[in-house]
């Protein structure tokens, strides 16, 4: 059974960079695309981007200039960096496994990141 677990700071200051890690267990990170999705408190879901271990990555154009997604195959981990954050970036951040027809079948528990000084 594939399991995903997000980790990282729960509080980030405005204008700084948000950094999160997703550890994948129960399967190899080299077999699929892996994605980040976020959900502001009380609001809907927003796709951030996804990446394949060999380098192919795709981002939401609305966030592309601020997003970096990377994969560390030695640790079976996916990472997210979101730069120049504002309060609007406060959200629960999920990592998820993307399947070929663009759906997400396994999700992490989510990590709440608050942007505040």
Partner 1 sequence: QSVLTQPPSVSGAPGQRVTISCSGSSSNLGAGYYVHWYQQLPGTTPKLLIYANSSRPSGVPDRFSGAKSGTSASLAITGLQAEDEADYYCQSYDSSLSSLVFGGGTKLTVL
- Residue numbers at the binding site for partner 1 (CB under 8 A): 44-47, 60-62, 94, 99, 101-105, 107-110
Residue 13 near residue 114, CB atoms below 8 Å: no
How near is the Cβ of 28 to partner 1 at its closest, in Å?
Answer: 20
How near is the Cβ of 5 to partner 1 at its closest, in Å?
Answer: 11
In angstroms, rounded to a whole number, what is the distance separating the alpha carbons of residues 80 and 36?
7
Q: Which is nearer to partner 1, 3 or 15 (CB)?
A: 3
How near is the Cβ of 15 to partner 1 at its closest, in Å?
Answer: 25
In angstroms, rounded to a whole number, what is the distance separating the alpha carbons of residues 27 and 16?
33
Torsions phi, psi for 20 (to 5 deg): -135, 155
């Amino acid at each position: 059974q594939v399991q995903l677990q997000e980790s990282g700071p729960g509080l980030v200051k405005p204008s700084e960079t948000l950094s999160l890690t997703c550890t994948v267990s129960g399967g190899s990170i080299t077999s699929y695309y892996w994605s980040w999705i976020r959900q502001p408190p009380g609001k809907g879901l927003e796709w951030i981007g996804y990446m394949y271990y060999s380098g192919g990555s795709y981002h939401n154009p609305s966030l592309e200039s601020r997003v970096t997604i990377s994969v560390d195959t030695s640790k079976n981990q996916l990472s997210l960096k979101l730069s120049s954050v504002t309060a609007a970036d406060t959200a629960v951040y999920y990592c998820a496994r993307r399947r070929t027809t663009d759906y997400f079948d396994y999700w992490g528990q989510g990590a709440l990141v608050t942007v505040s000084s």
